[in-house]
């Protein structure tokens, strides 16, 4: 008999992902990501400036000042996306993320999608949408399972 107070694996990992997002230093959107394999967290990431670089919370947001719409002109941002940070952290520490699951508070953009595909991640669970239909098309073409958390069944874990 299962305990209704005990979260499913997907709920557990998404709760952690939401907590990771709280470390974000982006003024516009706080995003968190974790990479999981065999029910073990391999890496975490949140959006913010690279190590040793001033954060947007310290120097302001160029994209906001230029009124750049969400999902456009990523090169004008000093921050790294949460998914990118999670992949980079795994690489930095020599952790293979092949065949892993990515939990993310937002659907990854097309730039992150390319990295996710080449890193060998096989499944993505996310909470909110993102205005980048190209990423969904690339995930489908690459055979990566994408599930919006809370929409599909949450019975199975990674």
Q: Annotated binding residue at 109?
A: yes
How do 101-106 and 40-46 pair as beta strands?
A: unpaired
CA distance 123 to 117: 10
Task: Give the DSSP per-residue string, 61-118.
Answer: -HHHHTTPPTTS-GGG-SSB-HHHHHHHHHHHTT---TT-EEEEEE---HHHHHHHHH
Q: Of the residues 72, 83, 141, 145, which is catalytic?
A: 83
Q: Can 83 be counted among the known catalytic residues? A: yes
Point out the residues that are catalytic.
Answer: 83
Binding residues: 81, 109, 112
Binding residues for Zn(2+): 81, 109, 112
């Amino acid at each position: 008999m299962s305990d209704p107070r005990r979260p499913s694996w997907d709920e557990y990992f998404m709760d952690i992902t939401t907590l990771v997002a709280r470390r974000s230093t982006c003024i516009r959107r706080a995003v968190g990501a974790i990479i999981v394999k065999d029910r073990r967290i391999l890496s975490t990431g949140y959006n913010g400036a690279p190590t040793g670089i001033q954060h947007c919370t310290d120097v302001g947001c160029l994209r906001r000042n230029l009124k750049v719409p969400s999902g456009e002109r990523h090169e004008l941002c000093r921050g790294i996306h949460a998914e990118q940070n999670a992949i980079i952290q795994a690489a930095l520490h020599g952790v293979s993320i092949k065949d892993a699951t990515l939990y993310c508070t937002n659907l990854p953009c097309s730039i992150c999608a390319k990295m996710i595909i080449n890193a060998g991640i096989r499944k993505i669970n996310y909470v909110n949408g993102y205005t980048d239909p190209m990423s969904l098309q690339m995930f489908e073409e690459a055979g990566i399972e994408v599930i919006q958390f809370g929409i599909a069944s949450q019975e199975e874990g990674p």
